[in-house]
Amino acid sequence: MMKPEKEAYFGSANIQEAALEMLLPLETARSRHLPLAVGETAALLVLDMQEYFLNPDSHAWVPSAVAIIPGTQRLAAAFAGSGRPVFYTRHINDSQNAANMGKWWREIITEKNPLSAISPELDSWGGLVIHKSQYDAFYKTSLEDLLVDFQVDQVVICGVMTHLCCETTARDGSDLGFEMLFVLDATHTFDIVGANHQVYRAREIARYTALTLGADFGRVVMTSELVN
């Protein structure tokens, strides 16, 4: 059976409209929060924007990831321009730290794999790069210590993939006491193929991730809200 074509639910022409439509069910939850304010103690966390996920020749290609690059660039420029810290994660595995990654993934992303590099379209030299080995960017990394050193209490998350690394990191960050801001139009994921080849579309996966996080773990926001 042929694999279904991956859904590109964000495109350069419709990304704002599509993300705002996903936010509609969250209006009640969003209204409970105080007006959004990104303070001097905020940091930007850009998750796994690597060629492994952005290159169409990779089996792990995330089809709409190119659509979130401009928003990610805007966020990075805004944070760096105002002297606020920017962190980039680079997912790297070896046989010692892969754990379940070695069972669930078709292959692990090794440091020698040229696709493991952060996309050249993102100026990662303008921030700090953190290597991680699991979905959670806090797990066995220096991220929490760095946030404490920079006196950060508000973490803005963008990158890939919405329901894996982005969601897991947002949940853990919330449990650690950070205010998590999840940028819906600057994250992306792809479809899940379940039992009997049933396809769960990326758009719905992203929608339910936003509902879960926005109800109990943080604030789901748009790029324009933060940059403005």
pTM: 0.93
CATH number at residue 60: 3.40.50.850
CA pair distance 87, 52, nearest whole angstrom: 19
Per the model's pLDDT, the better-predicted residue between 202 and 191 turns out to be 202
- Over residues 141-196, the pLDDT tens digits come to 999 999 999 999 999 999 999 999 999 999 999 999 999 999 999 999 987 666 66
pLDDT at 92 over 90: yes
- Give a yes or no: residue 3 inside a domain: no
- Give a yes or no: residue 78 inside a domain: yes
- Give a yes or no: residue 4 inside a domain: no
- Give a yes or no: residue 207 inside a domain: yes
pLDDT at 216: 87
- Give a yes or no: residue 5 inside a domain: no
Domain count, the chain: 1
Range(s) of the domain holding residue 75: 17-29+37-227
**Confidence band of 48 (pLDDT split at 50, 70, 90):** very high
The three state secondary structure string of 167-217 is HHHHHHHHHCCCEEEEEEEEEECCCEECHHHCEECHHHHHHHHHHHHHHHC
- Give a yes or no: residue 11 inside a domain: no
**Confidence band of 2 (pLDDT split at 50, 70, 90):** very low
- Express the helix, strand and coil content of the chain in percent, nearest 5 each: 40, 20, 40
